[in-house]
C-alpha cells in the first residue's frame, strides 16, 4: 500500500539504509488550510454552511461595508488552541493579527486578516506512520515539525464565466475561520506527505476543530517541492496547489519531484513558481502568474488588540470566564488522539500495531471492529483478520467506508459466531460472507441453511466419505504409508471438495490418519 521507493529517486532516510547512491534528494513541505468547524465566521456573526445559496451568508463585515469592525470568534480561537495542543505546539499567550493586502474580486476588504508576525501556536510536531512495503507488514513512524498554526480569514469564491466574460463573486465563504498549519520541509515523497496529511486530518476530525473533508474544501493542501543533491543546499522550490484529495497529493508531489529531476538532468532549471495539479492529466502545470512578485504590505490589524490567552496560573481572578480562553482548561478536555487510540487498541485486543493503524485510519473501521468484537466470542486477534482481509478489501473494491458497508457489524458478528462454534467451516464462512455482501437482507444462519453449509457433524457419514477417497487414491495412500506424511493434506483437500467444504478439516484429518494407520 505504501512505499517510499519510486523509480527515479530514492528516500535517503534511515529505514532505507540499503542505500543505492542517491543522485537526488527530494524535499517536501506542506501548507495546509483547515476550515474551522464553527457556527459563525472568524470575525462576524454570519453562519458557516457548505453549499448554501450564493451570498446568503454575508454580514456587513463580510462584505467589507465601510465602518464595520472585526469581532473575534471565541470558538475559532479554542479550535486553534486545541489543534495546537494536539500537535505539540507552544501556544503563544499573546498573538497578533495582521492585514495582508492584495486586490482580488473575492477579497472584499482588499486585505486578509491573518497572523503573520506572532501566530497563535508555534514549534510543534506531528508523528505519522507509513508502511514501507506493499504487504503492510513493516511500518515506520516519522515526524514532521510544525512551524506554526495561524488563524486567518477564508476568501470568497470567484466564478469566471468566460462565455459572457464576467466574474461572479460568492461571499458565503468570505471570512470563514481557517487554521493554516505550516509543516516544515521534513518529508521526501508523496507517500510521506499523504500519510502526514491523513494523520493531521484524523487529528482535526477527532478534535472536531475541522471536518477536514478535502472534497468540500475544508482541508486544502499546498505542497512546496524541491530537489537537490545530497550535501548541497536545497534546490529552487515550486508550490503545487489545487490538490483536492490525499490520493492526488501523493501523485502531485511525486509527479513534481520527477518533473524537477528530469528538468535538471536535462540541463534545465526549476523556476520558483506556483503550479496547479491537473488531476485528469495527473501532472502539474504552471499557474497564471500574478503579475510578478506580490508585496503584501503587511501591517498590524488596528481593530483587533493583541489576543491574550491564559492558563490556570495567569488567569486573572476577577475576569468573566466567557471573556477569556484558558489553555489548561482546553488541554484537560482534549479527546484521545489517533496515536493514543491505536496504542489502546493494541493493548486491549492484542492486535498488531499495523492493524491498529489501519483500523484508525480507515473511516469508521475502528468502531466497526469494536462492535463486532463486542458481539462475538471469537478472539479479537482472529476478528481483525476478517475485518482487514475480507471486509476492508471488499469495501475498498467498492469505494465504500465502513459505515456504508452492506454487512453490518451485527451480521458479521453472527457469521463469526457460527464459525467460532464450529457450525460452519471457514471456507463456508467465506461463502456466507459473499452472500451477505449482496445485501439481500438474509441472516448468516438463513444463508447457511439455504446453501446447506453446516459442517457434517455425523461421524459415520464423514468416515464413509473418507473411506471413499482412500479407496480411490491408492497412489497417495502408498506414499503416506511409505512415510511421506504431507500427502495427507491432498486427501484432506479431496474430502473437503467432496463435502463442499462442509467437513471439519481437523476431524477429517483424524479420521484419515486413523484409517491409514489401520
What's the min distance (Å) between Cβ of 306 and another protein? 6
Measured distance CA(59)–CA(73) in Å, rounded: 14
330-to-79, 94, 126 alpha-carbon distances in Å: 9, 17, 19
CB-based burial label for 164 (10 Å; 0-12, 13-18, 19+): exposed
Q: SS3 letters for 381-395?
A: HHHHHHHHHHHHHHH
Contact 135, 389 (CB under 8 A): no
User: CB-wise, 328 or 420, nearer to another protein?
Assistant: 328
User: CB-wise, 92 or 258, nearer to another protein?
Assistant: 92
User: CB-wise, 61 or 369, nearer to another protein?
Assistant: 61
User: CB-wise, 32 or 151, nearer to another protein?
Assistant: 151
What's the min distance (Å) between Cβ of 266 and another protein? 35
What's the min distance (Å) between Cβ of 97 and another protein? 9
What's the min distance (Å) between Cβ of 323 and another protein? 4
Q: How far is CA 11 from the centre of its chain?
A: 22
What's the min distance (Å) between Cβ of 75 and another protein? 10
User: CB-wise, 136 or 324, nearer to another protein?
Assistant: 324
What's the min distance (Å) between Cβ of 66 and another protein? 4
Measured distance CA(477)–CA(455) in Å, rounded: 25
User: CB-wise, 29 or 108, nearer to another protein?
Assistant: 108
In eight-state DSSP terms, residue 402 is G
Q: Spell out a b/e string for 43-72, using b for 16 or more CB atoms within 10 Å of the CB, else e.
A: bbebebeeeeeeeebbbebbbeeeebebeb
What's the min distance (Å) between Cβ of 65 and another protein? 7
Radius of gyration of the chain, Cα coordinates, nearest whole angstrom: 30
Measured distance CA(418)–CA(386) in Å, rounded: 14
Measured distance CA(488)–CA(490) in Å, rounded: 5
User: CB-wise, 298 or 437, nearer to another protein?
Assistant: 298
What's the min distance (Å) between Cβ of 296 and another protein? 8
What's the min distance (Å) between Cβ of 68 and another protein? 7
Measured distance CA(383)–CA(427) in Å, rounded: 15
Q: SS3 letters for 454-512?
A: CCCCCHHHHHHHHHHHHHHCHHHHHHHHCCCHHHHHHHHHHHHHHCCCCCCHHHHHHHH
User: CB-wise, 72 or 400, nearer to another protein?
Assistant: 72
What's the min distance (Å) between Cβ of 96 and another protein? 8
Provide the CB-side half-sphere exposure for 11 (13 A, CA).
20
> Could you give phi then psi for residue 252, rounded to 5 degrees?
-65, -45
Contact 145, 197 (CB under 8 A): no
User: CB-wise, 6 or 75, nearer to another protein?
Assistant: 75
User: CB-wise, 158 or 389, nearer to another protein?
Assistant: 158
Sign of the alpha-carbon dihedral angle for 271, 273, 277, 281: negative
What's the min distance (Å) between Cβ of 29 and another protein? 22
User: CB-wise, 109 or 214, nearer to another protein?
Assistant: 109
Contacts with another protein, residue ranges (CB under 8 A): 60, 63-72, 74, 77, 96, 99, 101, 103, 105, 108-111, 167, 169, 295, 297-300, 302-308, 320, 322-325
Amino acid at each position: 500500500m505504501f512505499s517510499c521507493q519510486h523509480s527515479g529517486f530514492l528516500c535517503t532516510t534511515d529505514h532505507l539504509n540499503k542505500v543505492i547512491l542517491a543522485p537526488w534528494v527530494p524535499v517536501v513541505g506542506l501548507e495546509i488550510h483547515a476550515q474551522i468547524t464553527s457556527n459563525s465566521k472568524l470575525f462576524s456573526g454570519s453562519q458557516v454552511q457548505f453549499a448554501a445559496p450564493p451570498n446568503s451568508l454575508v454580514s456587513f463585515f463580510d462584505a467589507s461595508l465601510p465602518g464595520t469592525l472585526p469581532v473575534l470568534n471565541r470558538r475559532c480561537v479554542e479550535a486553534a488552541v486545541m489543534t495546537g495542543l494536539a500537535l505539540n505546539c507552544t501556544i503563544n499567550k499573546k498573538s497578533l493579527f495582521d492585514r495582508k493586502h492584495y486586490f482580488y474580486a473575492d477579497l472584499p476588504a482588499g486585505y486578509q486578516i491573518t497572523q503573520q508576525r506572532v501566530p497563535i501556536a508555534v514549534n510543534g510536531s506531528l508523528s505519522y506512520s507509513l508502511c514501507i512495503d506493499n504487504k503492510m507488514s513493516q511500518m515506520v513512524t516519522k515526524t514532521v515539525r510544525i512551524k506554526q498554526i495561524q488563524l486567518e480569514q477564508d476568501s470568497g469564491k470567484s466564478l469566471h464565466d468566460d462565455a459572457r466574460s464576467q466574474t461572479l463573486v460568492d461571499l458565503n465563504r468570505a471570512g470563514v475561520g481557517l487554521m493554516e498549519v505550516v509543516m516544515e520541509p521534513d518529508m521526501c515523497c508523496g507517500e510521506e506527505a499523504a500519510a502526514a496529511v491523513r494523520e493531521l486530518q484524523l487529528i482535526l476530525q477527532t478534535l472536531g476543530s475541522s471536518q477536514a473533508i478535502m472534497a468540500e474544501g475544508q482541508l486544502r493542501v499546498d505542497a512546496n517541492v524541491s530537489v537537490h543533491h545530497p550535501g548541497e543546499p536545497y534546490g529552487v522550490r515550486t508550490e503545487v496547489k489545487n490538490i483536492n484529495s490525499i490520493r492526488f497529493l501523493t501523485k502531485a508531489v511525486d509527479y513534481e519531484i520527477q518533473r524537477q529531476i528530469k528538468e535538471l538532468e536535462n540541463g534545465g532549471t526549476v523556476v520558483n513558481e506556483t503550479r496547479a495539479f491537473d488531476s485528469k492529466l495527473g501532472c502539474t502545470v504552471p499557474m497564471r502568474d500574478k503579475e510578478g512578485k506580490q508585496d503584501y504590505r503587511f501591517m498590524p490589524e488596528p481593530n483587533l488588540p493583541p489576543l491574550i490567552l491564559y492558563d490556570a496560573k495567569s488567569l486573572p481572578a476577577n475576569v468573566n470566564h466567557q471573556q477569556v480562553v484558558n489553555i489548561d482548561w482546553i488541554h484537560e478536555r482534549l479527546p484521545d488522539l489517533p496515536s493514543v487510540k491505536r496504542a489502546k487498541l493494541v493493548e486491549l485486543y492484542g492486535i498488531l500495531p499495523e492493524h491498529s493503524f489501519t483500523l484508525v485510519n480507515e473511516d469508521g473501521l475502528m468502531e466497526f471492529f469494536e462492535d463486532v468484537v463486542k458481539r462475538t466470542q471469537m478472539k479479537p486477534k482472529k476478528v481483525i483478520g476478517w475485518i482487514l482481509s475480507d471486509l476492508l478489501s471488499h469495501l475498498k473494491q467498492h469505494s465504500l467506508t465502513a459505515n456504508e458497508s452492506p454487512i453490518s457489524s451485527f451480521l458479521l458478528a453472527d457469521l463469526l459466531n457460527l464459525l467460532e462454534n464450529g457450525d460452519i467451516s471457514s471456507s463456508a464462512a467465506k461463502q456466507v460472507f459473499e452472500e451477505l455482501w449482496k445485501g439481500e437482507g438474509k441472516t448468516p444462519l438463513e444463508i447457511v441453511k439455504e446453501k446447506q453449509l453446516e459442517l457434517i457433524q455425523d461421524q459415520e457419514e464423514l468416515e464413509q466419505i473418507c473411506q471413499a477417497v482412500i479407496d480411490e487414491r491408492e497412489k497417495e495412500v502408498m506414499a503416506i504409508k511409505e512415510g511421506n506424511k504431507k500427502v495427507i493434506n491432498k486427501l484432506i483437500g479431496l474430502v473437503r471438495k467432496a463435502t463442499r467444504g462442509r467437513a471439519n478439516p481437523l476431524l477429517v484429518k483424524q479420521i484419515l490418519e486413523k484409517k491409514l494407520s489401520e
